[in-house]
Structure 1
Amino acid sequence: MKLGVSVVTILAAVLALTVPALAGPQLTFDKAVYDFRTVAQGKTVVHSFTFRNTGDATGTITRVSSSCGCTVADVSNKVIQPGKTGTIKTTFDSSDFHGPVTKEVFVYLGDQQKPAYILTMKGLVVEEFVITPRQINLGSVKAGVRKDVTLAMENKGEKTIKINSIKTELPQVAISIRKKVLKPGEKTSFKVSVTPRGDNRFVNGYLTISTNSQGKSEKIIPIFGVLAK
């Protein structure tokens, strides 16, 4: 009985050595994760992931997608023969982000329903020009009664920032600002006064703040509130 088991074990080992592995493409990336460290908000990060087909069959990249519309990926060549190389160029737009970010790119081979490979771009998006709060929530307001909100601005960059304009499409909003030039590290504030009108139940609009920042030159601050009955 023991002899029979030993013979079976030996035969299985021999077959494992002599039977070739299933043929197929295999993409090997130099690096699957790219850390861009820090980037100023509004700047674009571009990186190319390099790969080689280390398998024994031709591979076809049928689709490349990303985790959000802020990241675009382009493939240098979609059909990769064994031993050949290629690149996937990824572009990340940091305009709408701040703080730590992680974005993924999904690579599909053949008719696979799930991504065969996941590539990652990560890093820290630094705001040069910070406005707080990031939105103006008026809450419940009364028609004809003015409500004032103060917003703080800070230059966290390394260059002087000039505020070119602060605009809104809302006629019931008035803006008061004194200091329009901020040196690195400087802070200031401005006042937004809202006097709701009785012809609309909701106050809904935006402030558009334009600057000379080399990163994100324009900031959008939502304004919203509800007219009390």
Structure 2
Amino acid sequence: MSVTGRAVILGVAFIFLLAGKISVAGAQEEPLPPEVPFQPIQKLDIVVNPASKARIKFESDTFDFGSIPRGATVVHSFKFANAGQDTLEITSVRPTCGCTTAPLSSNKVAPGDEATIKAYFNSKNFNGRLTKYIYVNSSDPIDPYLKISFKATINDPLLPINMAPLEADFGSIVSGAPGIVKVTLTNAGDSPVDIRLIHESAPEMVKASPTSMSLQPNGNAELTLQLAAQDKSGELKESLTFDITGGQEGRFSLPWKAVITGQRQ
């Protein structure tokens, strides 16, 4: 091969080599895609049997207490049923806040049976509107991890009803003796309103009367709470929730408490 031919071949090879370097260099300079943050896998509490026919069904997975007094405890029972054909097991009930406890009536529910998760919320350290959550894990393979919630407004300034007192306190009562407390409800709004009891957290303990009433502006009515005789000593904290309709709408909860002591002589 002539010297000229070799020069041409070497020149072409050099051009291809140079193009490859430029291409590689250009590829290295392209920006990399943003790095996705590492997401650790959360450890689950249970291993769900996919063949299980247990089915959890809540009557309602949310509740609104409406306006509540700061510092009091309000209570709501979340009812659920096993709508399946196998025994339903509740493996954990976890409130997301130390302000809430949520005891479970039974952790095993037979097909067709019901149980409750009773949420106790202490409003001591809160103001304004809030929402709290409770996580429920079960053996239902379709919905093994559920979330129920409640909300409230601490001392809602827009509530047209004033309560006196803000919390019904039965005081100290000897075991086996009944108790009674009267609460005055006043319509502080400009329109007539209707008030109706919609939820009792412990209907077997306290009966409210009347359960519905109508109030004109500046009108008031007396609500009577009667505590049935209790056999076990200890502190009781429960609540009643009322809806307001008519000229103005709203909702409020009336907490009540009692301390049952000793034995009746």
TM category, shorter: 0.3 to 0.5
Structure with the bigger percentage of strand: 1
Q: What is the TM-score of this pair, normalised by structure 2?
A: 0.38
Q: Which of the two has higher C-alpha Rg?
A: 2
